[in-house]
């Protein structure tokens, strides 16, 4: 499942470090995009319970997001706490 360009721009603009829609490489932007995709796949799996390939993709995305969050927590704990508060995700 892909994310539309307009949605990506909104995600990057609202969550990037410098509030720019072109800053797609910041940790905050990447985690926000992963969170959006995780929420979409979770809704898909609520309807399609036997879709194991999507379930595997979901687990991979959660792992990627976890690694990025661990990196951010090591580098800058203040940014990490602000990010998990703004995205409403739990540790």
Nearest C-alpha neighbor of 36 from the set 66, 59, 3, 9:
3
Instruction: Grade residue 21 by pLDDT with cuts at 50, 70 and 90.
Output: confident
pLDDT of residue 35: 95
Q: Which residue range forms the structural domain that includes residue 15? A: 5-87
Rounded-to-integer distance, Cα 50 and Cα 31, Å:
27
Q: Is the pLDDT of residue 2 over 80?
A: no
* Lowest-pLDDT choice from 1-5, 22-26, 72-76: 1-5
Nearest C-alpha neighbor of 61 from the set 3, 4, 9, 19:
3
Rounded-to-integer distance, Cα 30 and Cα 87, Å:
12
Task: Identify the CATH number of the domain in which residue 10 sits.
Answer: 1.10.287.10
| Structural domain count, the chain | 1
Q: Is the pLDDT of residue 18 over 80?
A: no
The SS3 call for residue 16 is: coil
């Amino acid at each position: 499942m892909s994310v539309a360009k307009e949605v990506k721009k909104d995600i990057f603009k609202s969550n990037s470090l410098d509030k720019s829609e072109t800053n797609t490489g910041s940790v905050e932007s990447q985690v926000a995009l992963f969170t959006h995709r995780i929420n979409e796949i979770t809704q898909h799996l609520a309807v399609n319970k036997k879709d194991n390939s999507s379930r595997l993709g979901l687990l991979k995305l959660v792992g990627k997001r976890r690694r990025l969050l661990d990196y951010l927590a090591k580098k800058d704990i203040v940014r990490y706490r602000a990010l998990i508060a703004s995205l409403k995700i739990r540790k």
